[in-house]
Amino acid sequence: MAQVSIRKVVKAYEGNVQAVKGIDLEIADEEFVVLVGPSGCGKSTTLRMIAGLEEITSGDIAIGGEVVNDVPPRDRDIAMVFQNYALYPHMSVFDNMAFGLKLRKFPKEEIKKRVDDAAKMLDIAMLLDRKPKALSGGQRQRVAMGRAIVRNPKVFLFDEPLSNLDAKLRVQMRTEIKKVHQLVPTTTVYVTHDQIEAMTLADRVVVMNHGIIEQVGAPQELYHNPATRFVAGFIGSPAMNFLTVKLVSDNGLYVELADGTRLAVNPARIDRYKPHAGKTMTLGLRPEHLTETHTNEKPGTAYLDATVDVTEPMGMETMVHFFIKGEPVCARVDPLTVAIPGQILRLAADMSNMHLIDNDTNKVV
């Protein structure tokens, strides 16, 4: 049983730079949690505090119920995979993987068995005699994972393990990591700045920004119900459109775009938004919820006219870019739709998937 608890944890570096500003997070046993966020938001710092490589300024971190604030890394029973692999260059693959077990005085046969098992699982059994410099990036990454697996630790920690690999290999290794987690279910904390990696791997995603946690939730939940403007904009690719609108109450509730177009608010949301009537707010709408018009539209659809600026045919879909009073907007239409730059295209906005953001708090209301 190895749940990880992070309670009111603060990390201040010299010069009083607060890299992590008091975060709370409960990670369940065997859960795969991904920390995601832009560069410098404190993901690595958080991970390194769990590992014990970085001291905690205040707060508590507990692993398996035991507070480990003052426990050195080697006694925390964790394993970590680094972005640059950090393999011991003078040791063979076997010795790299066996190093931790040897230091812990495991019997020889046990070490060999564990290394062989892990090597088989990771498909590196034929590389055991090689030195790291004779391996490709993907192979090194596997060895680094093998080194973590053989220890059979309470918690796996990954710090951007795939960002040194090329795009294709990254996708492949992503699947591999997921497979390993299914074979050896272990509490895992995984850091990445790639939101797709986060979405595909995580049981729960933790979105961080400027040293705080913006939102914690299952990937789908973050996608459909972002709590803040930051999460709404960070999760999803291409990113959500943000439009300055006025919420007007006039025989029903409307969002009024900068060009005067009024889009009716979905009746189901009227009670939720009503208190904000009259305010200038931000409308969040994902490109896939702004599409070509259909003959039998589902209820809660509103229409607007766009003067097409640029189109990007992607094969399965075409991205249409345009501006509403200077604000860039992206719509995602069927590739058969006729969208010619300079001409007007009528688009359907799926208002049941809209988000309304309070400009003062940056929270989704």
Partner 1 sequence: MSATIARPGSLHRQRQWTLWGSYTALSFFVVVFLVPPFYMLMTSLKSSAEISAEAGNPWYPHSPTLANYMTLLGSDSFMRYFFNSVWVTAVVVVVSMVISILSAFALSRMGFKGAQVLSTGVFLTYLIPPSLLFIPLFQIVGWLGLINSTWVLVLLFPTLAVPFATWIMIGYFSSIPKELDEAALIDGASYMQILVQIFIPVALPGIIAATIFAFTISWGAFLYPLAYLYSADQVTLTVGIVRDLIRGDVFAWGMIMAACVIGAAPPIIIYTFLMDYYVAGLTAGSTKG
Ligand X SMILES: Nc1ncnc2c1ncn2[C@@H]1O[C@H](COP(=O)(O)OP(=O)(O)OP(=O)(O)O)[C@@H](O)[C@H]1O
Binding residues for ligand X, per CB under 6 A? 13, 17, 19, 37, 39-45, 193
Minimum Å gap between C-beta 305 and ligand X is: 41
Q: Which does 150 bind (CB under 5 to 8 A by kind): Mg ion, ligand X, partner 1, none?
A: none
Return the number of the residue (46 or 266) whose C-beta is nearest ligand X.
46
Return the number of the residue (155 or 329) whose C-beta is nearest partner 1.
155
Q: Which long-range contacts (CB under 8 A, 24 or more apart) does 209-218 make?
A: 209/37, 209/38, 209/41, 209/234, 210/21, 210/41, 210/42, 211/18, 211/19, 211/20, 211/21, 211/23, 211/41, 211/42, 212/21, 212/22, 212/23, 213/23, 213/24, 213/25, 214/37, 216/25
Instruction: Give the x/- contact pattern for partner 1 in 96-135, rule: CB under 8 A.
Output: ---xx--xx---------------------------x---
Can residue 78 be called a binding residue for partner 1 (CB under 8 A)?
yes
* HEC readout, the chain: CCCEEEEEEEEEEHHHEEEEEEEEEEECCCCEEEEECCCCCCHHHHHHHHHCCCCCCEEEEEECCEECCCCCHHHCCEEEECCCCCCCCCCCHHHHHHHHHHHCCCCHHHHHHHHHHHHHHHCCHHHCCCCHHHCCHHHHHHHHHHHHHHCCCCEEEEECCCCCCCHHHHHHHHHHHHHHHHHCCCEEEEEECCHHHHHHHCCEEEEEECCEEEEEECHHHHHHCCCEHHHHHHCCCCCCEEEEEEEEECCCEEEEECCCCEEECCHHHHHHHHHHCCCEEEEEECHHHEEECCCCCCCCEEEEEEEEEEEEECCCCEEEEEEECCEEEEEEECCCCCCCCCCEEEEEEEHHHCEEECCCCCEEC
Residues between 150 and 209 with contacts to partner 1, criterion CB under 8 A: 151
Return the number of the residue (48 or 154) whose C-beta is nearest ligand X.
48
Can residue 209 be called a binding residue for Mg ion (CB under 5 A)?
no
Return the number of the residue (44 or 186) whose C-beta is nearest ligand X.
44
Minimum Å gap between C-beta 322 and Mg ion is: 36
Residue of 79, 127, 213, 304 interacting with partner 1 (CB under 8 A): 79
Return the number of the residue (16 or 251) whose C-beta is nearest ligand X.
16
Residues between 286 and 325 with contacts to partner 1, criterion CB under 8 A: none
Residue of 88, 129, 185, 274 interacting with partner 1 (CB under 8 A): 88
Can residue 71 be called a binding residue for partner 1 (CB under 8 A)?
no
Minimum Å gap between C-beta 132 and partner 1 is: 8
Bridge partners (DSSP) listed for residue 25: 6
Return the number of the residue (75 or 271) whose C-beta is nearest partner 1.
75
Can residue 85 be called a binding residue for partner 1 (CB under 8 A)?
yes
Q: Which does 193 bind (CB under 5 to 8 A by kind): Mg ion, ligand X, partner 1, none?
A: ligand X
Residues between 38 and 57 with contacts to Mg ion, criterion CB under 5 A: 44
Return the number of the residue (13 or 323) whose C-beta is nearest ligand X.
13
Minimum Å gap between C-beta 42 and ligand X is: 4
Stretch that binds partner 1, among 77-85, 176-184, 197-205, 235-243 (CB under 8 A): 77-85
Return the number of the residue (39 or 182) whose C-beta is nearest ligand X.
39
Can residue 84 be called a binding residue for partner 1 (CB under 8 A)?
yes
Stretch that binds partner 1, among 45-53, 171-179, 256-264, 316-324 (CB under 8 A): 45-53
Alpha-carbon gap, residue 122 to 139, rounded angstroms: 9
Of how many residues is the chain composed? 365
**Binding residues for Mg ion (CB under 5 A):** 44
**Binding residues for partner 1 (CB under 8 A):** 51-53, 72-74, 78-80, 82-90, 99-100, 103-104, 132, 147, 151
